[in-house]
Amino acid sequence: MDLVTVNGLSKRYGGIVALSEATFSASAGEVHALLGENGAGKSTFIQILSGAVQHDGGSILVEGQDYRTANPDAAQARGIAAVFQELSLIPDLTVEQNIWFRHEPKTLLRTVNRAEMRRKTLALLDKYNFPTLRPDQELRRLTLAERQIVEIAKGLAKDPRILILDEATSALPAREAEWLLKLTRQLAAEGRLVIFISHRMAEVRAIADRLTIFRNGSTIAVHEANAVSDNEIVTQMIGRHLDRLYPERIATATDRIALSVKEFSSGSRLSGVDFALREGEVLGVGGLQGHGQRELFQSLFGATKASGTIELWGKPVSINNPRQALTGRDGIALVPEDRRGQGLLLTKSVRENLTLSVIGRFTEHGLLSRRKEADLVKEMVDFLRIKAGTPEQLAGTLSGGNQQKVIFGKMLLTQARVLLLYDPTRGVDVGTKGEIFQLMRELAAKGYAILFHSSDMPELVHVADRVLVMRNGRVAATLEGDRISEADILRAAMLESEAA
Amino acid sequence: MAMSVAERSVETKMQPPGIDWRGRVLDRAPFLVACLMLALIVAIYGSLQSGVFTLDEINLDTAAAMTLMLAATGQTIVLVRGGIDLSIGGMISLGTVIAATRFTDDPSTTALWMVIILALGFLIGAFNGLLISLLKLQPFLVTLATWSILNGIAMIILPTDGGSIPGWWVGFASAQLFGLTSPVWMLLALLMFWWWFRATGVGLTIQATGSNEKSAFLSGVSITRVNLVTYGLSGLFAAGAALFLVTQTGAGSPTIGKDYILPSVAAAVIGGVSLFGGRGHLAGTLIGAFVLTLIGNLVFVLHVSSYWQPVASGVILLLSVLASSVAEKAARNRVQ
């Protein structure tokens, strides 16, 4: 019998239909992948299943019993735990306090039994072979990847029958992602159901037994994982034939140097980076995670202090803060890593997000011109194909891919022509990924210079004109033409590390 | 692709086990700065005045600081939750006027009214919490409004300072056990309470909600219940502060409460409690309350105008805010 059966599930947010008549069924002991573009209704579906929101119509049966949750507690009581993409962790609590939050072992005085909590933490981490974590460390001291791992531990601590992993691998370095995939199989072997959401097709292929495809809030198809091709899946996800994910790479780089960086250093993570980015070029930045890529982008944008020389369009500049970076047509704009935290104001409208930082451009005689603003917003929304009801829709209610497009729009409106894109496709669906790559090529053709980091190596290989491989805070190699391949990037990234 | 990388992956960024001493010191920097300030003030005070390092002085100063300490304990809980409670000013005033008009020489009647005042404190606080949750209003606005309402009611009950407090209750503040007066024992009780509170699910949940409300909700916390308990406790402690305050003044006052609103926040901030929620310890708040009280003593023995007291308090507040922000920055840089 199926562990979960969902029929006719519907959910509306105001005028927007998030789910309409969705169906789903999965049984114990399987890894069931949930696929769909951003905005297809996956997030709403798992939010309903995990008790974070309530559905409007339809039925959910868990172990044959009707299931309608009022809150995440009730979901946990029914054996459902979710590992959220938008993490449910508390910054000021320690790792172990987070893992056992609200389920702490207690003493007679009703206080937390710390010795017992530590013992249980270590037992849990050991049982599932977790990467090293310090149980007493406060969460806010942890990196994004480490937090993701804690979130997974927190989900497992409840010993759930159904575990939902929402984009859990997207924040993890390769080795940890690999561990998570193994863990997922282990959990299924223990007789649990794992509902697995990922935008990385290779992962889905590697571990899923079955997969369900969502599109526009409805269930489109259910497949046995080994009986369907990648192409079929992608076609069903986006509802049209996707010719190719990666646009044709037409070299548009000129000889003009847009950004020249010499002896660029920052703290212990960035030591003496040299490179030149040309007009019309997409320059990839690769290497293993944590070798200075983040610091390079942050420092170029003036968000982190750095030493060395920067020349923009042939002129030496000093960039000490983002305001200086964004100055005028000769500036630098950044698409940041954490779009929810750094890039977007979730409680502001699409219009406000687009124009807030460039409000000066819409003034006439010192007064704000709403018409001018509306025109430019419309132009940007059309150009980027942002799917929003109206420009007044709150950014927080958009799907991940559309939020990312708003950030692109915000960046383009600054008129800067050197663009720093830090992992712009993270957590973005396949269809939007394709659009973003297309957009990058179009911008390059228009003379923009683009520095592009991705944690997904094939993206660098297929989109960038050249790739800088970083190792230990410097550029270990610059790959061009035929030499841009995953194998070459890896070789350059790991040669020294392996010897060490 | 991703898979093949993994086989040969290098050292991950996970840190080796062991105690992160520097991190721990940085985390506690605001608290340590408050301790230093207190030590400095005591040292100056002690060099100007004889008999500072005696049990008598400790008894006296603790009694002088206890009303603020009680009020600030409630405020600390609210601040850790990420809110603020201005209504404690109204609650303290209301508590003193009820006490001054209802307390009699009969201990059982008085005890009954004490229970009523404490219960009222909790209920009014819980009502604040309910309004904040259900109407999704700012704590600042809700508690500003209830402060005004409570203040008005206090005025209606007792328009001017007056009434009377039975002598046996006034004597409570100087009652001694093992050479320590009741305020010192109360201080220890507050610390015990905090230790217990922080180690229970309730305290942890309040702290977690202050740290990140969304995450707490996703972990199954009922935000409404958290607000009820948080502001209820704050009201309860404000009522307790009123009961103690009347032992010092011997009368009721419909306006006295406002003198504790901002100092209760200041004491907490000086002690390292974050205004953004999630972080702080009562020990810090109590030290902050001592700092603010002893500043008054210092101004007195320096024979300068008493108007210098708020000036000095303000400077100290600024210094502690500065200390926390420097420490916070250093801590953040370590994560990067």
**B27 vs A300: which has the higher pLDDT:** A300
Provide the token pair at A282. Answer: 């997409």
Q: How confident is the model at residue B181 (pLDDT cuts 50, 70, 90)?
A: confident
Give contacts of B17 with chain A, Cβ < 8 Å.
132, 134
Q: Summarize pLDDT for B194-228 with one digit per residue, the tens.
A: 988 888 888 889 999 998 888 888 888 888 999 99
- Inspect the interface and report whether the beta carbons of B215 and A173 lie closer than 8 Å: no
Q: What is the mean pLDDT of residues A131-147?
A: 83
**B253 vs A495: which has the higher pLDDT:** B253
Query: Which residue in chain B has the smallest CA separation from A158?
Result: B219
Q: How confident is the model at residue B5 (pLDDT cuts 50, 70, 90)?
A: very low
- Inspect the interface and report whether the beta carbons of B9 and A202 lie closer than 8 Å: no
What is the DSSP code string of B290-305? HHHHHHHHHHHHTT--
Give contacts of A174 with chain B, Cβ < 8 Å.
2, 5-6, 9
3-state secondary structure A482-494: HHCCHHHHHHHHH
Looking at chain A from residue 185 to 204, which residues have their Cβ under 8 Å from any Cβ of chain B?
200, 202-203
For residue A309, give how far its alpha carbon lies from the nearest alpha carbon of chain B (Å).
Answer: 22
Specify the pLDDT at position A328.
62
| Domain count within chain A | 2
Looking at chain A from residue 262 to 321, which residues have their Cβ under 8 Å from any Cβ of chain B?
267, 269, 288-290, 295, 304
Q: How confident is the model at residue A103 (pLDDT cuts 50, 70, 90)?
A: confident
Taking residue B118's Cβ as centre, other Cβ atoms within 10 Å add up to: 19
**Is the pLDDT confidence value at B8 over 50?**
no
Q: How confident is the model at residue B15 (pLDDT cuts 50, 70, 90)?
A: very low
- Inspect the interface and report whether the beta carbons of A112 and B11 lie closer than 8 Å: no
- Position B21 in a domain: no
Distance separating alpha carbons of residues A437 and A403, to the nearest angstrom: 16
Contact B279, B80 (CB under 8 A): yes
Specify the pLDDT at position A498.
41
- Position B29 in a domain: no
Whichever domain contains A190, its CATH number is 3.40.50.300
Looking at chain A from residue 471 to 500, which residues have their Cβ under 8 Å from any Cβ of chain B?
486, 490, 494, 497-498
Specify the pLDDT at position B238.
96
Query: Which residue in chain B has the smallest CA separation from A461?
Result: B1
Specify the pLDDT at position A367.
73
Give contacts of A498 with chain B, Cβ < 8 Å.
8, 10
ipTM above 0.95, yes or no: no
The answer to whether residues A72 and A101 belong to one domain is: yes
- Inspect the interface and report whether the beta carbons of A104 and B204 lie closer than 8 Å: yes
Give contacts of B1 with chain A, Cβ < 8 Å.
202, 457-458, 486
- Mutation to test the A interface, candidates B4, B209, B212, B329, most A Cβ within 10 Å: B212
Q: How confident is the model at residue B191 (pLDDT cuts 50, 70, 90)?
A: very high
Of A141, A457, A486, the CB nearest to B335: A141
Average pLDDT value over all residues in chain A: 84
- Mutation to test the B interface, candidates A94, A112, A136, A141, most B Cβ within 10 Å: A141
Q: Summarize pLDDT for A12-63 with one digit per residue, the tens.
A: 876 667 888 899 999 999 999 998 876 678 888 988 988 888 888 888 888 8
Q: How confident is the model at residue B1 (pLDDT cuts 50, 70, 90)?
A: very low
Please name the residue ranges forming H helices in A239-369.
Answer: 293-300, 322-325, 350-355
Looking at chain A from residue 83 to 112, which residues have their Cβ under 8 Å from any Cβ of chain B?
84, 86-93, 97, 101-102, 104, 106, 109-112
Highest-scoring range by mean pLDDT, A42-46, A200-204, B319-323: A42-46
Nearest Cα to Cα of residue B54 among B181, B216, B147: B181
Q: Summarize pLDDT for B97-135 with one digit per residue, the tens.
A: 999 888 888 888 888 999 999 999 999 999 999 999 988
The answer to whether residues A121 and A202 belong to one domain is: yes
Specify the pLDDT at position B278.
86
The answer to whether residues A212 and A346 belong to one domain is: no
Give contacts of B194 with chain A, Cβ < 8 Å.
none
Query: Which residue in chain B has the smallest CA separation from A76?
Result: B220
- Position A203 in a domain: yes
Please name the residue ranges forming H helices in chain B.
Answer: 2-7, 21-27, 29-48, 55-80, 88-102, 107-134, 139-157, 167-170, 182-199, 201-211, 213-218, 223-249, 258-270, 282-301, 308-335
- Position B35 in a domain: no
- Inspect the interface and report whether the beta carbons of B336 and A304 lie closer than 8 Å: yes
- Mutation to test the A interface, candidates B3, B12, B202, most A Cβ within 10 Å: B12
- Position A291 in a domain: yes
- Strand A466-471 vs strand A449-453: parallel, antiparallel, or unpaired? unpaired
Specify the pLDDT at position A86.
64
**B40 vs B5: which has the higher pLDDT:** B40
**Is the pLDDT confidence value at B176 over 60?**
yes
**A91 vs A200: which has the higher pLDDT:** A91
Give contacts of A138 with chain B, Cβ < 8 Å.
23, 27
- Position A245 in a domain: no
**Is the pLDDT confidence value at A296 over 70?**
yes
Specify the pLDDT at position B334.
58
**Whole-number CA gyration radius for chain B:** 22
Specify the pLDDT at position B13.
37
**Is the pLDDT confidence value at A388 over 90?**
no
Whichever domain contains B327, its CATH number is 1.10.3470
- Inspect the interface and report whether the beta carbons of A145 and B220 lie closer than 8 Å: no
The answer to whether the pTM exceeds 0.90 is: no
Distance separating alpha carbons of residues B28 and B327, to the nearest angstrom: 9
- Position B45 in a domain: no
The answer to whether residues A220 and A271 belong to one domain is: no
- Position B44 in a domain: no
Domain-ending residue, one of A207, A238, A269: A238
Q: What is the mean pLDDT of residues B84-90?
A: 93
Contact B234, B143 (CB under 8 A): no
In this structure, what are the phi and psi dihedrals at residue A3, rounded to the nearest 5 degrees?
A: -75, -40
The answer to whether residues A373 and A443 belong to one domain is: yes
Q: Summarize pLDDT for A302-331 with one digit per residue, the tens.
A: 888 888 888 888 888 888 887 777 776 678
Q: What is the mean pLDDT of residues A259-273?
A: 87
Contact B201, B139 (CB under 8 A): no
The answer to whether residues A277 and A212 belong to one domain is: no
Query: Which residue in chain B has the smallest CA separation from A50?
Result: B218
Sort A101 into a burial class: Cβ within 10 Å, 0-12 / 13-18 / 19+: buried
For residue A10, give how far its alpha carbon lies from the nearest alpha carbon of chain B (Å).
Answer: 21
Contact B280, B75 (CB under 8 A): no
Domain residues for the domain of B175 are 52-331
Torsion, Cα A491 A493 A498 A500, to 10 degrees, reads: 140
For residue B182, give how far its alpha carbon lies from the nearest alpha carbon of chain A (Å).
Answer: 25
| E strand or H helix at B255 | none
The answer to whether residues A172 and A297 belong to one domain is: no
Nearest Cα to Cα of residue B198 among A109, A151, A99: A109
Q: What is the mean pLDDT of residues A179-185?
A: 90
**B300 vs B154: which has the higher pLDDT:** B154
- Position A382 in a domain: yes
Query: Which residue in chain B has the smallest CA separation from A107?
Result: B200
For residue A456, give how far its alpha carbon lies from the nearest alpha carbon of chain B (Å).
Answer: 8
The answer to whether residues A333 and A452 belong to one domain is: yes
For residue B261, give how far its alpha carbon lies from the nearest alpha carbon of chain A (Å).
Answer: 26
Q: How confident is the model at residue A390 (pLDDT cuts 50, 70, 90)?
A: confident
Contact A223, A199 (CB under 8 A): no
For residue B138, give how far its alpha carbon lies from the nearest alpha carbon of chain A (Å).
Answer: 16
Backbone CA torsion sign across A475, A477, A480, A486: negative
Specify the pLDDT at position A481.
83
| Domain count within chain B | 1
- Inspect the interface and report whether the beta carbons of A102 and B8 lie closer than 8 Å: no
Residue A352 CB contacts under 8 Å (≥ 6 apart), including other chains = A345
Looking at chain A from residue 218 to 257, which residues have their Cβ under 8 Å from any Cβ of chain B?
none
Give contacts of B6 with chain A, Cβ < 8 Å.
174-175, 177-179
Q: Summarize pLDDT for A440-486 with one digit per residue, the tens.
A: 998 999 889 999 998 777 888 888 999 999 888 889 889 988 888 87
Q: How confident is the model at residue B7 (pLDDT cuts 50, 70, 90)?
A: very low
Specify the pLDDT at position B193.
92
Domain residues for the domain of A443 are 257-499
Provide the token pair at B300. Answer: 């007195």
Give contacts of A141 with chain B, Cβ < 8 Å.
20, 23, 331, 334-335
- Position B1 in a domain: no
For residue A279, give how far its alpha carbon lies from the nearest alpha carbon of chain B (Å).
Answer: 31
Contact A463, A246 (CB under 8 A): yes
Q: Which three-class secondary structure state does DSSP give residue A256?
A: coil
- Position A47 in a domain: yes
**Residue A197 identity (one-letter amino acid):** I
- Position B38 in a domain: no
For residue A164, give how far its alpha carbon lies from the nearest alpha carbon of chain B (Å).
Answer: 14
The answer to whether residues A317 and A270 belong to one domain is: yes
Q: What is the mean pLDDT of residues A480-498?
A: 74
- Position B189 in a domain: yes
Q: Could you give the percent of chain B with pLDDT greater than 90?
A: 39
For residue B232, give how far its alpha carbon lies from the nearest alpha carbon of chain A (Å).
Answer: 20
Specify the pLDDT at position B297.
84
Q: How confident is the model at residue B289 (pLDDT cuts 50, 70, 90)?
A: very high
The answer to whether residues A388 and A479 belong to one domain is: yes
Specify the pLDDT at position B11.
36
Q: Does A141 reach chain B within 8 Å, measured CB to CB?
A: yes
> If you count residue pairs, one on A and one on B, with CB atoms under 8 Å apart, how many are there?
146
Average pLDDT value over all residues in chain B: 85
Specify the pLDDT at position B227.
94
* Angle formed at CA A312 by CA A306 and CA A313, multiple of 5 degrees: 165
Query: Which residue in chain B has the smallest CA separation from A176?
Result: B6
The answer to whether residues A85 and A45 belong to one domain is: yes
What is the DSSP code string of A69-110? -SSHHHHHHTTEEEE-SS----TTSBHHHHHTTT---B-TTS
